[in-house]
Amino acid sequence: MPPSEPRVLVVDDDEMQRESLAALLVADGIAVTSCERAADALAMLHALDPVDLIVSDIVMPDMDGLEFSARARALRPGMPIVLVTGDDTAVGRVIANGSVALLKPYSPGMLKRVLDEHLGRS
């Protein structure tokens, strides 16, 4: 039986960013669920939909990525969470939050390396 596709939840209020990221992930054999709002993503996690990893922007209007990741981790302890930011001064807060920081602009190769590491793919 072939291994199942990893499942990643993408959370970003910027439609172009969200769709571009989702397209990169799908091209890499990853099943993607995406949400525009952090509150919608939390509702999906609360509903017990399967997710292996979360990728979220930090700057969002309804709730920032740091608060979202803390709430997501309460629902899914141990879930890897990658927070994307263009602000290199936010890296310390991301790490203190228990998440992985991915700085914009990132290359598709860097995204793949970070996700493969946290999804246990070689």
Q: 96-108 pLDDT, tens per residue?
A: 999 999 999 999 9
Lowest mean pLDDT among 2-11, 45-54, 97-106, 108-117: 2-11
Name the average pLDDT for the chain: 92
Helix segments in 15-64, DSSP class H: 15-27, 38-46
Average pLDDT over residues 28-48: 94
Tens digit of each residue's pLDDT (9 = 90 or more) over 48-93? 778 999 999 999 998 999 999 999 999 999 999 999 999 989 999 9
- Sorted by sequence, the CB contacts under 8 Å of residue 93 that are 6+ apart come out as 66
φ, ψ at 31 (rounded to 5°): -80, 135
**Residue boundaries of the structural domains of the chain:** 7-119
As a whole number, mean pLDDT of residues 13-35 equals: 95
Cβ atoms of 58 and 66 within 8 Å: the answer is: yes
What distance in Å separates the CA atoms of residue 95 and residue 14, rounded to the nearest whole number? Answer: 23
Q: Which residue has the tokens 């099943």?
A: 31
H or E stretch covering 3: none
CATH code that applies to domain 7-119? 3.40.50.2300
Mean pLDDT of 26-45: 95
The most distant pair of C-alpha atoms in the chain lies apart, rounded to whole Å, by: 45
What pLDDT is recorded for position 2? 43
In this structure, are residues 9 and 41 in contact, taking their beta carbons and an 8 Å threshold?
Answer: yes
